[in-house]
Amino acid sequence: MTADSADPDAAESTDIIQPADGPTSPASPLEAFEKFKKEVLDENQPRQLFSVSRMEGSEALKGDIFVHYKDRRTKFRARPRVRFENEEGVGSGPLREFLLNARKICDEGLGSPCGKTKPVIFFEGQSNHRIPIHDQSLRLLGAFKAIGRIIGHCALHGGPALHGLSPAVKYYWIYSEEDIDEKPAPIVIEDVPDIDLRQLILQVRFL
């Protein structure tokens, strides 16, 4: 997603998760991932505190978590420390639960604590062909950048991965604009989440 002058996140965080340039390419994806983590993690920074509450239910908890990912001051490269309000958490359990609920924001969206309104979702479509929804207001509010931070933060600190995305989305995230211009993403009809629009495309295709 390209930032522009209307985007409140155009002045990006100083703690962006980006790897440094390396002299050689690792032999496997796993090695590449481990190399990326070593380059990006900053052990010298003070631990980043994430303070949240689940006393008002799961949707309120997800709302608390999302606020941290929208905040550009959050140090995502630092080692995280999670504190649940009025709870005594020890070990890695609080961090695992925090990251699991963060990932649920990507999967399920954000609902109201009272459950009276439809959840705000960020992805739509069938399994293995999910794509980001088209919503200009969410983009302008910086919601999609927060979702990207969740995905990166989970990967960096051992959280759950986001599954079910369209190969076209992964392609778009991995390759540069120049590569995409020369070789477009592998879009298929299953990547169209609107069933009615999908049927219209099929009718035109077979004319």
Q: Which two tokens stand for residue 149?
A: 């931070």
In order along its 207 residues, the chain shows pLDDT tens digits of 444 444 545 445 555 555 555 445 556 888 988 898 999 999 899 999 999 998 999 999 999 999 999 999 999 999 999 999 988 876 788 999 999 999 999 999 998 877 678 889 999 999 999 999 999 999 999 999 999 999 999 999 999 999 999 999 999 888 888 888 888 888 999 999 999 999 999 988 777
Q: Tell me, what's the pLDDT at 92?
A: 84
- Give per-residue burial for 182-207: e unless 16+ CB within 10 Å, then b: eeebebeeebbbeeeeeeeeeeeeee
* Calpha distance 115→59 (Å, rounded): 8
With H, G, I as helix, E, B as strand and everything else as coil, classify residue 14: coil
- Whole-model pTM above 0.95? no
Q: In whole angstroms, give the CA distance from residue 7 to residue 148.
A: 15
DSSP 3-state of 188 = coil
What letter represents residue 54's amino acid? R
Segments of the chain assigned E as strands: 48-52, 80-84, 123-124, 131-132
Break the chain into its structural domains and give their ranges: 1-125+135-165, 166-207
> Would you state the pLDDT for residue 21?
52
